[in-house]
Structure 1
Amino acid sequence: MDIAALQRWLQHAMTIEARTSKGIIRFQHGSDYRRFLLRLKQNASSNTLKSVKPIPLIRGISCQLPAGLSLEAFQGQVWLEKDCKISVRPSPYKAKTMDNGIPWGVQHIRAPQAWGTTTGYRVKVGVIDTGIDFQHPDLQHSLLRGINLIHRGRPPRDDNGHGTHIAGTIAAANGMHGMIGVAPRALIAPVKAFDHNGSAFVSDIILGIEWCVRNKMDIINMSFGMRNRSKALLSAVINAYNAGVIIVASAGNDGKRRTVDYPARYPQTISVGATNRLRRIAPFSNRGAYIDIYAPGDKIMSAWLKGHYNEMSGTSMATSHVSGAIALLLSLNPGLPPAEIKAVLKRSMQPLRSNKARRTIGELDVWRMLQAAEKR
């Protein structure tokens, strides 16, 4: 491949005065990608090429390009796709007080019954989200440093609330005055890829996955989704899966019966739908054959900004329950591969309370999950 020609094309494309959008370019061959990065380093003085962001996990880069541009001259050697935006579900801020140290969802999945056996001790969960409130008293003992992919060099502080809520359900640990999450001795690594509005580019999500793989996270929690399929995101998910990382993803909140959001739709993830207190599928939850398991997601209380608490609903909340449960399982059975963990979850599900629900689907039950893992 003519790497010099590609760089000239890229440099020219990035100087065109037209409406631009972010794009992801992936290389078919690792040798071409390495040569491209080497030339990029040699041309570091170029202002246009400085904005090119390498994504080694998928042998790719992200950069600003004119809309409608194609790479026909390099067809079969590189692939171009739009760097789409993903959003976490916005929620109005509602300060709440904790009535009980154990939220209903944590009780419902029977996590407390497992704490005499496992608390998720030192299992590492990468939460790709809006960051975390480092000052929250319920989370201070559960945190790793993490990374801020939006403002490199700054700590991944939460300026939205969603990431703090997710982290609280997974691993909050302050039973005396606050709340307890599903796996209170697991460790959360906040990976801030979403801004204060709850928006992120696919390229930043992929960089977050790469960080989690490189830093040996056991689990990646992805409480977000999009309707468009991204081959670049799929490539990142496959690489993480092959590295033994368990990816848990939310199915989406559109109330659809035959589809779920990406990346939950990829078979390498554990796709999570939401239930309510009655063990029924929540009306907002996507459902159907693509769902691997359901978990509590309706009116879930968890940690929020400035040491407060907030009630939120969504498959995002259900996903955090499953990530916590897997942390409990991995603490007892370290090294279990992703496929085996999915199989254990499916074997141990509680049937849903609905005449219309298929018998092949069900709700998370931590106690049954641990028993199923012993019998495998």
Structure 2
Amino acid sequence: MKLRVLSSLIVALAATTIATGPAYAAEAPSAASTATPTTAASAAQQTTSAAPNIEPQLSARVAAAGKIRVNVLSKTRADMPDAAASGQVVRQLSRFPLTTLHVDQAGLDRLSKLPSVVSVSEDKPARPSLAESIPLIGADKTRAAGKTGSGSVVAVLDTGVAVNHPFLKDRVLEEACFSTIDDEYSASSLCPDGTIAQEGPGSADTDQGPCAVVALGCAHGTHVAGIAVGDGTGVTGAPPAGVAPDAEVVAIQVFTKFNSESVCGAGAAPCVASFTSDQVAGLEKVLELKEEGVPLVAANLSLGEGLYSAACDGDLRKTVIDSLRAAGVATVIAAGNSGYGAAVAAPACVSSAITVGATTDQDGVAAFSNRGALLDLFAPGVSIVSSVPGGKWADMSGTSMAAPHVTGALAVLRQAMPDATLDQLEAALKTTGKAITYSGVTTPRIQVDAAVLGKSPNPGAWPIPHFENMTNTTIPDHGTVTSSIPVTGLLGSAPATTEVYVDIMHTWRGELKIDLIAPDGKVYPLQANDPNDSGDILHETYQVNASASPANGTWKLRVQDVEWLDTGYIDGWWIRLPCFGNWDDTTIPDPGVAQSSIVLDWINGNAPTRTRVHVEINHTWRGDLKLDLVAPDGKVYALRAADAKDGTDNIDESYWVNASASVANGTWKLRAEDLAKGDTGFINGWTLTL
């Protein structure tokens, strides 16, 4: 009989920043919640007496709780006292017409009738959205070129920062804390002095005050800051650097300690979460510093809750996000970690924010990452090593880790392009990024060296084919289930380096036997069951040689539960078939030699014994042409000999070579040599399948 140890689940969750929100956070927004809002600036000029926009379900929440926290946006600051009379005031901002209240049903009814009120929404607590990534995005190259974010400042609104950590020491420029005290929510301040607002040195330092208790989980902000601006020069055991190691940081604590299981989850209290009102106060502080002359370029928010498939421009935070953008400060927000295929969390759904999803080191979409049309950029977010309090290091995964890669990249771009607008900086990241295609959507993964130095990592390249199924599939107790992915548009056999990523939740994962079934029915074992493995979560990438099977067709993940008593589900999986291509036209001299290149940078070891090269060439006498594949180490693999009698016009052929004597990573070249004068043509494109 297996023993159930609750602490094992808690430890597993603590090892990553992938976190679920409070129980009510998954509620889908209504149509009203995605309507275009009235900003504070425009509201001040309104002359109509339109009824306030009341967030759906507020009455039901008040009825259930008796009294709740709400954020009331008034038309002008002069209208704030009218709103304040509807309940107990717990916060008022210094520049935006926002009042946070405790209200009962009578107070909510009064607010709903005030013509001076623009909107009323619940003040919800949101959880954090929890050395290979820097070279992957080219930030090591920008650092070597002297583009390190010098002269720029980024703000990290999070759980505070360990200001004396050697990875960040002497570069925390300003500190502030906005943290709630609310007995009705079992909420207490994380500000070191115990108040709801503290500014100045030490106010966001996680090594002081309540956050100094390691078990509380305030490491998140220090980890995020290290990714954006860490500098490991001369620091033993440190990563070489974050993205912008010479940029400075404004550290703003916007989280609160909760002792409530309704926020933290069963058995998980205490925990930290952030009220919307504290986030707005923190963003307001960023705007204040920018107007005082601090050269801020980005504010990072690695937090969120909810599910939004359309822009949530009615969100309370949009007003200050818009104001920051107008001042030249991007608000960079983690997309969330619920694995939604076509939705993101709030406030990432705000259209004027930069929304960031997470990829793996192999440029697959991280299974936990929210994604879809609202996503602006991808960045690495799996097993990222960065700073944590106590002068230590840890690896964490989540869209939380992806967002600060973008925040740091903006600091580097600002140094490189001091006169560019924020729109131009964002466009530089989007237009030079590596295309990641999934479920009919393409989103760029940032490539900082290409954006800053103009060096594309793989000119003319096409994205690695990536196919996924992120639909939850229940695994029967002592039974078998399959989840399918149709693959189309590829040529010939599957690669020898086919990658499969599996995300499974199960109360005893060692019961599971996992196989990949190819379109021709061949079975490729991925993982055997292990009765001693009592873990609850499986996030695993497997590489299989599937070259004996066709690439096109329906691939299946088969999961068999070989024991009784435990249950779970496939959270999602994807398959990547690394067929690389270059479809830039390349003229072939008459006579002469032409070469077209493909750069590989993530496949381990040597090329496979069955490496496939598919070539498309337009030429008026193809018999003039001799074709070779040139490996990164210079070895030449003959593909096609010239044949003076072959007067056909074009080549559309696949060739198989044993390239196992050459390393996979590096620059591969298709070499086309025209041996006779009189006919012309060009390489239309080619693919390399490993």
The aligned residue for residue 162 of structure 2 is 133
Contact 2:256 2:275 in 1 (8 A): no
State the partner residue of 2:452: 370
1:19 aligned partner: 66
What CA distance in whole angstroms lies between the structure 2 residues aligned with 1:181 and 1:67? Answer: 49
Q: Which residue of 2 aligns with 1:111?
A: 139
Deviation (angstroms), 1:19: 3.2
SS at match of 1:181: coil
User: What do the CA deviations read for 1:279-307 (whole angstroms, capped 9, x no partner)?
Assistant: 11111111111111111001111101111
Q: Following the alignment from structure 1 to structure 2, what is the Cα–Cα distance between the partners of residues 372 and 233?
A: 35
Structure 1 runs, 4 residues or longer, greater than 6 Å off: none
Q: Distance in 1 between matches of 2:343 and 2:230?
A: 32
Please tell me the root mean square deviation across aligned C-alpha atoms, in Å.
2.6
Does the aligned pair in 2 maintain the 1:23–1:80 contact within 8 Å?
A: yes
Residues 69-108 of structure 1: pairs in structure 2 closer than 5 A:
69-70=108-109, 71-75=111-115, 77-89=117-129, 103-108=131-136
- Counterpart of 2:393 in structure 1 is 309
| Partner AA of 1:236 in structure 2 | V
Q: What residue number does 2:667 align with?
A: none
Structure 1: distance between partners of 2:443 and 2:244:
24
Is the 1:128–1:192 Cα contact (8 Å) retained in structure 2?
yes
C-alpha displacement of 1:113: 0.5
Q: Does 1:162 align with 2:220?
A: yes
Q: Which runs of 5+ in 1 are unaligned?
A: 2-17, 91-102
Cα-to-partner distance string for 1:156-193 (whole Å, 9 max, x where unaligned):
12221000000010111122222311100111111100
Q: 2: distance between equivalents of 1:357 and 1:341?
A: 27
Which structure dedicates a bigger proportion of its chain to strand? 2
Deviation string 1:186-229 (CA, Å, 9 cap, x unpaired) is: 11111100135230110000001000011013210111112165
Do the aligned residues in 1 keep the contact of 2:72 with 2:117 (CA within 8 Å)?
no
CA distance in structure 2 between the aligned counterparts of 1:360 and 1:366, rounded to whole angstroms: 18
3-state SS of 1:210 partner: helix
SS in 1 for 2:303: coil
2:229 alignment partner in structure 1: 171
Contact in 1 for aligned 2:158/2:253 (Cα 8 Å): yes
SS at match of 2:126: strand
After superposition, the C-alpha distances for 1:329-373 in whole angstroms (9 at most, x for unaligned) are 011223533322221111111123x6x465742211011111459
| Residue of structure 2 in register with 1:61 after alignment | 99
Confirm or deny: 8 A CA contact 1:171 1:182 kept in the other structure: yes
**For residue 276 of structure 2, what is the aligned residue in structure 1?**
202
Contact 2:168–2:230 (8 Å) recurs in 1: yes
Corresponding residue for residue 192 of structure 1 = 253
Given the superposition, is the C-alpha separation of residues 287 and 174 from structure 1 closer, same or farther in structure 2, using an over 3 Å criterion? same
For residues 267 and 73 of structure 1, the distance between their equivalents in structure 2, rounded to whole angstroms, comes to: 29
What SS class does the counterpart of residue 117 from structure 1 fall into? coil
1:215 and 2:299 aligned: no
Q: CA deviation at 1:31?
A: 4.4
- Distance across 2 between alignment mates of 1:242 and 1:57: 16
Contact 1:58/1:232 (8 A) holds in 2: no
Identity of aligned residues (%): 27
Offset of 1:67 from its aligned partner? 5.3
1:89 CA displacement: 4.0
Deviation at 1:110, TM superposition (A): 0.8
Gaps of 5+ in 2: 1-43, 45-64, 180-190, 192-196, 212-217, 258-270, 291-295, 456-690
User: Deviations 1:21-50 (Å, cap 9, x if unpaired)?
Assistant: 2111111135434xx49x99xx9xxxx96x
Give the superposition deviation at 1:121: 0.7
SS in 2 for 1:285: coil
Contact 2:129 2:302 in 1 (8 A): no
Q: Do residues 122 (structure 1) and 160 (structure 2) align?
A: no
CA contact (8 A) 1:142 1:172 kept: no
1:235 to 319, 332, 338: 319
Counterpart of 1:268 (choices 340, 352, 359) is 352
Q: 1:299 maps to which residue? A: 383
Q: CA deviation at 1:80?
A: 1.9
TM-score normalised over the length of structure 1? 0.82
SS of match in other structure, 1:249: strand
| Aligned match of 1:96 | none
- Counterpart in the other structure of 2:664: none
Change (3 A) 1:359 1:290: closer
The 3-state SS of whatever aligns with 1:145 is strand
Normalising by the residue count of structure 2, what TM-score does the alignment of the two structures yield? 0.46
Change (3 A) 1:89 1:265: closer
Q: Which has the higher contact order (CA 8 A, sep 6+)?
A: 1
Q: Which residue of 2 aligns with 1:342?
A: 426
How far residue 146 of structure 1 moved from its aligned partner, in angstroms, is 1.3
- Write the distance in 1 (CA, Å) between the matches of 2:250 and 2:344: 26
CA deviation after TM superposition for structure 1 residue 117, in Å = 3.1
Point out the structure with max Rg over C-alpha: 2
